[in-house]
Structure formats: structure tokens, C-alpha cells
Amino acid sequence: MAGDNQVTATAERPQSTIFKRPSSTKGLWGWITTVDHKKIGIMYGYAAFFFFIVGGIEALLIRVQLAQADGEFLTAGAYNAMFTMHATTMVFLFIMPASAAFMNYLLPLMIGARDVAFPRLNALSWWIFFFGGIFLYSTFIFGTSLPPISPDGITGNLAPGGGPGGFGFLADSPDGGWFGYQPNAGPLYSPGTAMDYWALGLQIIGLASLVSSVNFIVTVFNMRTLGMRLLRMPVFVWMSTVVAFLLLFSLPIIAVALFMVTFDRQFGTLFFAPVGGGDPILWQHLFWLFGHPEVYILILPAMGIVSEVIPVFSRKPLFGYSAVVFAGAAIAFLGFGVWAHHMFASGITPVAQAAFGLATMTIAIPTGIKIFNWMGTLWGGRLRLTTPMLFAVGFLAMFTIGGLSGVTHAIVPSDWQQTDTYYVVAHFHYVLFGGAVFGLFAGLYYWFPKLTGRVMSERLGKTHFWLQFLGFNLTFAPMHWLGLQGMVRRTWQYAPGNGFESWNLVVTVGAFIIALSILVFMYNWYRSRRRGDASGLDPWDARTVEWMIPNPTPEYNFVNPPVVEKLDHWWHLKYTEDEEGRAVRRPEADQMIAELEHSELNPESPIHLPAPSYFPFIMALGLPIVFYGVIYHTTVWGKALIAIGAVVTLASLIGWGIEPLEEPMPSAHDDEAEPEDEGDADEDEEGADG
């Protein structure tokens, strides 16, 4: 393993004649065998965006159904499946991998490293995620979802086609909610295999995040360039590190809980089944003990992104850097002590309700510190309202609303009224869409030049922002009101005469405006990759070291990793301060940028990069095969699948261990990637993702 990250020549080792490291870094095989953190980041990014579109289509189906009272666009089963898959997709298959895309691509660049600590492990994370996503979504082909069975063995009835409404075929997918509350999502009330696909799919996807969390932690603690002390790291790196620790501590909990569900469903255990003395509330404790830290797993990377974007476009350092960093860590720490605020209506004792209510309130304090420090950064700055900055400021405004409504959930008696209504739906979309998604878009526009050597169209970018901002608020602001007016969540139909109709129509229109804004973004991305203005080395006059290398990023990242002297090292190389404390550009800055732009490898001292490998891909491929087998374990071919998958994974483990360290040298030609080259590479990737 250690050999993977050697950046200088290693001692020769006897070559294995059976196992060879793949040599091609181009084409489909190049993408399949790559261990380059940038290529893995790009694949994560495209896959996440693909699932964003899928989850978005699911949301639009939901909104069409709810556009009017007693809607009959979807059947009840299809509706339940759509809200289950929308949430599951957006949380596990969109925001988490999108954050992973940023972390993969940027973390090594921002700390001045050539790759992550364990490049093959990094590839393994990605392929596990990829196959996990395919496994989960294969439920639409193979899964079944049947009516509930009463405790006395009587089966519920469905009208032909699933009852009123269309798209009945969508009902054969997980429909127990992304929260999978027991016993409804258990074997009795959700018979059929769909919820097994859900539980085991999340198991696989969670494993991907667990593996990468270890990788990122080791990377941040061991791979920083000279002088990059912990408190000189960019805030995005800090937040990624905090997220990695959150993943490390919270994912094992959900892994155990999902195995318990799988055992209940497949092997007749009764962990959560009241008929056998099991406790359905135990599942909620386990789920939210993971699920609440998960919320911070989703939002902290976006907070890191805006902490990078706001200072750059304010042309000021981040106000209260250490306060922002420690507030982020504090949020993560407190985030493990508030899970039961999702359960205030569940009948837990008043002492527990009061304690979790108070703990939840305390989260508002570090969150407030962050918001005020971002505003302190803006204050007195020279604000350039570019597209990334608009998204960052949009994040700030929308997240503040989500934060305020979040405090109202801590007011326990008030939460008894609001929980399980659309008020909560409004709240967490302000946090996760207004917060996380706006932050991710800020990051996409900001770092696009690092992928392509081009900047995205500002005109289209601003159109995208304003459409999304408008659509977002039309969609989610009225939900506060709907919830307070008594509209219950997860309801397929609502009765006329409740005063819900007009606002629901507004919400549906808003959802389609969001969809339109995403189309604008997609066009902008497609167009700017080929025809965007050349970015040069440092298009935004940025502060951090990832902007000290040419765009698109060379395969080896840095010719000479920078020696960091200060926080915002790159800015301080370009700017000094006058006696008033105003920034003054150093006369040598332009010369320095020009030199960096044309820095070339010294052919005398080549850079050894980690060699590509087949084994991450093969090892990851084995997991879904095992899990298909688990679902059908009562059949012969189910047992065969378990065996085949186990052999694939275990054999690749051996291969992983004994494959040679041989590291093909990148030729000088490969290093000088033109923008067009990168574009082609992206196309290959799209082909690979299908």
C-alpha cells in the first residue's frame, strides 16, 4: 500500500509475471483502472449529477401528483416509491458523492499533495459507490413490492394496476421511506424484495464512504506539503476532514442497523418486530444516531466551499478563520448528541425530550458563528458578484432561513405540532437545497477552470442562479405555510377544502422552474467545456495553492509542491499590505504567474505517480453480486451468486496484495494536456458511466 504514494523512484522489485499493472491511462480502460484522485473525482461528479437528475425527475413526479387535491397522476404505491427513492437518491447518491467529488479532486491540490494517501483505496471507494448505486437502482428492474400482511396473516388488497393513478410499475421499488421506519419497512408490512434492495444498496454505498473517510483523514494528516500546518489549511480541507470523522463514527451505526433490518427481513430475526418482543423505536434511535450526523455530512462540505468562495470574491481573508474552523468541528461534535429531536413525538420521556431539545438549540450557536463570520468577510470587501459568489451568497441567505426554522424544531412542544408536516419538508430543503446544493453549485462554477482550463459562461451562470433562486423559494417557502396549516408529509393525496390547493400549485410550478434552471446549467457546462473563455492559471485572483498550477490540472499536480508560509499562501505571494492594511499587488506577481503557467517537468527528475490497477474495480464488482445472492438466498442460484461474489472479492484482495509496484512514468506528452484533451477525456467518462 505504502508504495502507491511514492513520488520518487522506488527500489526495483522482482516483477510478477502473472499480475501486471495496467499501462494505459487513456480510453475506457484508463478510466476503469485509474487511481488518479482527479479522474476519480470527475467520475464521482458525473455520477452524482446523473443521480441528481434522476432524483429530480422523481421529485417532479411527486409534484405533479400533488399539484391538485385528490391527485390521480401516480398510484399510491408509485407515490410512496417516488418519495422514498427521491430522498434516498438525493442524500446517498447525489449530495454525498458530489461532496466526495470535490474532496477527491481538491483535497490533494489544496494541501499541495500529488494524490491521496491510498490511491487504490480511493478507486475502490468510487467503484463500490458506483456499483452500489447500480445495485440500488436495479430494484426498478428486479424488485417487487407487495401489499402489507396483517399480524394474523391476512393480506391487504390492491385494485388492478395499483388503484387510481398511473405509473403503477414504479411501485415495485422501495416504498418504506428513506428512513425505513420499522415495522412498516419490515418483512410483514413491506413484503417483496424492494426494501431489501434499499437496505443492502445503502449498505454498499455506506461502505464506499467509510473507506474514503479513512483515506481522507490519513491524507490530511500525512500528505500536507511543507509548511501547511493544520491551521493554515483552507477551510474546505478542514470541513472535509470534519466530515471524514463524522462518516467514520456514524456509518458503522447505520451499517449495523441495516444488517439488523436485513436479518429481520431475510433470516427471521426479530430485532425490530413487536410480535417477537423487538422494538421499532430502537431502529429510530439507531437510524437517527447516524441520520443526524449525516445532515452535517451533507452540509459541511458546502460550508467549506462557500468559505473558500466568499473571501476570494470579497478580496479579503476569511473573517475569523479559526472561529469558522472550530465552529465546524463543534457542529460535528454536537451533531452526535441531538438525534432524538427527530423523535419528539415518539413517546420518549419528558427528560429525554427536554435534554435533546436543549442540545439541539446549542447547535444554533456555532452555526450562527459561521454565518456572522461570512458576513464579516463580506463587510468592507470589494464584492465581485460573479456566478460562484451569487451561489455562495444565496447559500448564506437560504441557509439562514433553514437554520432559523431548525431552531423552532428544538422548541419541543411546538415541534409536536410541526413534526411530520410539510413545515419540516420546507426546513430541510432550505438546509439541503438552499444550503448544500447552492454551495455545491458555487463550487462547480468556481473550480470549473481546474477541470477544463476554461471558465463557465457568466451570462448563462447568472440566468441559472436567478432561475434556481426563484424556483427554489417558490417551491419550498410555501411548504412552511402548508405544514403549519396541517398538511401531513408523505401523503399521496390531500382532501380538497383544506386550503392546500393553491399553495401546492405554486410549489409545483416552482419545482419546474428549478428543473428549467438545471437545464440552463447543463447547457452552460456542455458549452463552456468546449467554447468557454480560457481561464489561465488564476482566473479569480484566488487565495489558495490549488490555483498555483496550470489549468486544467496536470496529471502530477505540482511540479514542485509549494512551501507554505501563511494561511492563504497564494494570495500573500501576490499581495502585500500598505500601512492602512489595504491589499497592494506585488509588482512581481504577474511575472510569477506567467512562470507558474509555463512551469514544466524537469526530464532529469521524473515524477513517479501511483500506477493504475484493475483490482479496485474487480473487488467492488464482487460486492453487489454477493448482495444479490443474499436477497435470493433461498434459491440455488442465490447461493451460487453469494459464492461467486465472495470469490471475486477475495481473489481480487489477493491480487491487490501481490500486484507489482511498477509505476509507468507519464511521458512528457501526457502532461501537457490541452483543454481539448480534457474535453475528450470527459466524453470517454460519460461513455463509461452510461
Partner 1 sequence: MTPLRQRAARLFALVGAALLLTSCSIIQIDSPLTTFDPAGPNADRIDDLFWLVFWIATIIFFLVMGALIVILVLFRDRDANSVREPKQTHGNAKLEVVWTVIPALILAAIAVPTVSGVFDLTGCDDDSMRVEVIGHQWWFEYHYPDYDIDTANVMVIPVGEETCLEMTSDDVLHNFWVPALMGKRYLVPGQTTLLRLEADETGEFFGHCAEFCGLSHSLMRARVEVVDKAEFEAWASAQQEPASLPAEGDPGYDGYQVFLNKGCVQCHTIRFDDSSASNILASDAFNGPDLTHFASRSVFAGAVLPGDDETYQAALADWLADPPYVKPGSFMPNLALTAQEISDLVEWLETTK
Count of residues that bind partner 1 according to CB under 8 A:
116
Question: Can you read off the three cell numbers belonging to residue 134?
Answer: 447500480
Determine the Cα–Cα distance for residues 184 and 583; give it in Å rounded to an integer: 61
Question: Can you read off the three cell numbers belonging to residue 11?
Answer: 527500489
Which is nearer to partner 1, 14 or 277 (by Cβ)?
277
- Does 485 interact with partner 1 (rule: CB under 8 A)? yes
Which listed residue (214, 270, 484, 589) binds partner 1 by CB under 8 A?
484
- Does 527 interact with partner 1 (rule: CB under 8 A)? no
Determine the Cα–Cα distance for residues 503 and 18; give it in Å rounded to an integer: 66
Phi and psi, residue 652, nearest 5° = -70, -25
Which listed residue (1, 226, 365, 654) binds partner 1 by CB under 8 A?
365
Question: Can you read off the three cell numbers belonging to residue 316?
Answer: 479579503
Please report, for residues 35, 113, 662, 677, the alpha-carbon distance to residue 609 in angstroms, rounded to integers and kept in the order given.
Answer: 9, 11, 10, 20
CB 345 within 8 A of CB 419: yes
Determine the Cα–Cα distance for residues 626 and 642; give it in Å rounded to an integer: 4
Neighbour tally for 643: CB within 10 Å = 13
- Does 263 interact with partner 1 (rule: CB under 8 A)? no
DSSP assignment string, 433-463: IIIIIHHHHHHHHHHHHHHHSB---HHHHHH
DSSP assignment string, 558-572: -SS-----STTHHHH
* Range in contact with partner 1 (rule: CB under 8 A) among 30-38, 257-265, 523-531, 573-581: 573-581
Which is nearer to partner 1, 213 or 373 (by Cβ)?
373
Which listed residue (580, 604, 605, 634) binds partner 1 by CB under 8 A?
580
- Does 270 interact with partner 1 (rule: CB under 8 A)? no
Q: How far is the CB of 316 from partner 1 (least distance, A)?
A: 5
* Range in contact with partner 1 (rule: CB under 8 A) among 405-413, 432-440, 456-464, 512-520: 405-413
Q: How far is the CB of 275 from partner 1 (least distance, A)?
A: 8
Determine the Cα–Cα distance for residues 301 and 495; give it in Å rounded to an integer: 40
CB 652 within 8 A of CB 625: no
Q: How far is the CB of 372 from partner 1 (least distance, A)?
A: 4
- Does 587 interact with partner 1 (rule: CB under 8 A)? no
Which listed residue (1, 231, 488, 654) binds partner 1 by CB under 8 A?
488
The footprint of partner 1 on residues 453-482 (CB under 8 A) is 481
- Does 143 interact with partner 1 (rule: CB under 8 A)? no
- Does 519 interact with partner 1 (rule: CB under 8 A)? no
- Does 282 interact with partner 1 (rule: CB under 8 A)? no
- Does 601 interact with partner 1 (rule: CB under 8 A)? no
Greatest C-alpha distance within the chain:
84
- Does 590 interact with partner 1 (rule: CB under 8 A)? no
Question: Can you read off the three cell numbers belonging to residue 552?
Answer: 486544467
Residues in a beta bridge with 454: 534
Which listed residue (5, 25, 33, 75) binds partner 1 by CB under 8 A?
75
The footprint of partner 1 on residues 325-354 (CB under 8 A) is 345-347, 349-350, 353-354
Which is nearer to partner 1, 72 or 672 (by Cβ)?
72
Which listed residue (67, 255, 361, 509) binds partner 1 by CB under 8 A?
361
The footprint of partner 1 on residues 153-212 (CB under 8 A) is 154, 156-159, 162-164, 175, 177, 181, 183-184, 188-190
CB 230 within 8 A of CB 665: no
Which listed residue (245, 372, 466, 523) binds partner 1 by CB under 8 A?
372
Neighbour tally for 407: CB within 10 Å = 15
Preceding peptide of 280 cis, ω within 30°? no
- Does 411 interact with partner 1 (rule: CB under 8 A)? yes
- Does 231 interact with partner 1 (rule: CB under 8 A)? no
Residue with cell 428492474: 141
- Does 250 interact with partner 1 (rule: CB under 8 A)? no
Which is nearer to partner 1, 416 or 637 (by Cβ)?
416
Determine the Cα–Cα distance for residues 19 and 371; give it in Å rounded to an integer: 53
Q: Which of 167, 160, 145 is nearest to 64 (CA)?
A: 167
Please report, for residues 100, 185, 249, 345, the alpha-carbon distance to residue 277 in angstroms, rounded to integers and kept in the order given.
Answer: 40, 17, 29, 22
- Does 404 interact with partner 1 (rule: CB under 8 A)? yes
CB 129 within 8 A of CB 104: no
- Does 636 interact with partner 1 (rule: CB under 8 A)? no
* Range in contact with partner 1 (rule: CB under 8 A) among 8-16, 33-41, 263-271, 497-505: 497-505
- Does 505 interact with partner 1 (rule: CB under 8 A)? no
Q: How far is the CB of 583 from partner 1 (least distance, A)?
A: 4
Determine the Cα–Cα distance for residues 281 and 279; give it in Å rounded to an integer: 5
CB 319 within 8 A of CB 377: yes
Which is nearer to partner 1, 272 or 656 (by Cβ)?
272
- Does 606 interact with partner 1 (rule: CB under 8 A)? no
- Does 236 interact with partner 1 (rule: CB under 8 A)? no
Radius of gyration of the chain (CA): 25
Length of the chain: 690
Q: How far is the CB of 195 from partner 1 (least distance, A)?
A: 12
- Does 486 interact with partner 1 (rule: CB under 8 A)? yes
DSSP state of 155: B
Residue 40's Cα: distance from chain center in Å?
Answer: 14
- Does 152 interact with partner 1 (rule: CB under 8 A)? yes
End-to-end CA separation in angstroms for the chain:
31
Counting beta carbons within 10 angstroms of the beta carbon of residue 516, is it exposed (0 to 12), middle (13 to 18) or buried (19 or more)? middle
Which is nearer to partner 1, 128 or 340 (by Cβ)?
340
Secondary structure (3-state) at 271: coil
Q: How far is the CB of 124 from partner 1 (least distance, A)?
A: 35
- Does 410 interact with partner 1 (rule: CB under 8 A)? yes
Q: How far is the CB of 384 from partner 1 (least distance, A)?
A: 5
- Does 395 interact with partner 1 (rule: CB under 8 A)? no
Which is nearer to partner 1, 170 or 620 (by Cβ)?
170
The footprint of partner 1 on residues 415-444 (CB under 8 A) is 415-421
Which listed residue (130, 319, 339, 469) binds partner 1 by CB under 8 A?
319
